[in-house]
């Protein structure tokens, strides 16, 4: 049976699909970067997600419902997140309810698991470690991260933190990303 996702993909231009593919690969690559023992590539993860989304006959099919989740890209990113989590937490996933059972699950709701991810660094959770390090670099970075965690959207941060426009938030996000990458390098070299 034809899925909405298949129709959507068939209607994308070559350029649109390449852009989507690059987005998903970079997203998976960034998430996987924080895993101490990956054993899987970003392309493997993304391709598995496409197979699950397109093949309606699979038991683990992920159905895209454009009414409930109009943004196809966000839907796929959510699938990539849960695919990564499932990959690193297979045993735990088997013993609890299957996150794939609700394919329309919120983008962040499937992100808790990941037993093989860097859970603790020097006795702290990754999140706390990041905050402590970021405050050292620039308090603004920690501030943006804190309010994002609280659910603020980039345009809401503009008012909240007195930025001139949303690009300032995106620039801070770039710095945050680089800071995280820097921290990763630091762990690897320790």
Partner 1 sequence: MDKNSSKILSWLGDFEDKSERDEYLKSKGYDLEELDKRGMNFLGDLISTQKLKQGQRHKELFQRAKELLEERRDEIELGSILESINKSNSQFAYQFSKLEEINEEDVLGMLSDEQLLLIVEELEKEDG
Contact residues: partner 1, CB under 8 A: 1-2, 6, 9-10, 14, 17-19, 21-23, 25-31, 34, 43, 47, 50-51, 54-55, 57, 77, 81, 85, 107-108, 111-114, 117-119, 125-127, 130, 145, 148-149, 170, 173-174, 176-177, 180
Instruction: Tell me the C-alpha distance between 137 and 175, whole Å.
Output: 10
Query: Could you give the C-alpha distances from 131 to 68, 96, 100, 123, 138, in angstroms and in order?
Result: 34, 31, 32, 14, 10
Q: CB-based contacts of 149: which residues, under 8 Å, 6+ apart?
A: 127
Residue 146 is classified by DSSP as H
CB 107 within 8 A of CB 74: yes
- In whole angstroms, give the CA distance from residue 5 to residue 157: 33
115 and 88 Cβ atoms separated by less than 8 Å:
yes
Q: Which residues contact 161 (CB under 8 A, 6 or more apart)?
A: 140, 143, 144, 147
Nearer Cβ to partner 1 (105/117): 117
Rounded to a whole number of angstroms, the minimum distance from the CB of residue 34 to partner 1 is 6
């Amino acid at each position: 049976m034809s899925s909405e996702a298949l129709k959507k993909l068939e209607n994308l231009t070559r350029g649109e699909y390449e852009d989507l593919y690059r987005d998903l690969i970079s997203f998976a690559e960034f998430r996987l970067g924080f895993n101490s023992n990956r054993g899987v590539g970003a392309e493997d993860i993304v391709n598995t997600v496409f197979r699950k989304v397109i093949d309606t006959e699979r038991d683990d099919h992920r159905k895209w419902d454009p009414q409930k989740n109009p943004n196809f890209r966000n839907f796929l990113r959510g699938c990539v997140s849960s695919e990564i989590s499932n990959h690193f937490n297979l045993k735990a996933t088997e013993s609890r309810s299957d996150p794939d059972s609700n394919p329309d699950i919120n983008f962040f709701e499937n992100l808790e698991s990941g037993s093989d991810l860097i859970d603790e660094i020097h006795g702290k959770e990754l999140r706390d470690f990041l905050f402590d390090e970021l405050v050292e670099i620039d308090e603004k970075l920690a501030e943006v991260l804190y309010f994002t965690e609280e659910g603020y959207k980039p345009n809401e941060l503009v008012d909240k933190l007195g930025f001139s426009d949303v690009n300032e938030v995106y620039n801070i996000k770039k710095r945050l990303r680089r800071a995280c990458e820097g921290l990763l390098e630091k762990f690897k070299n320790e």
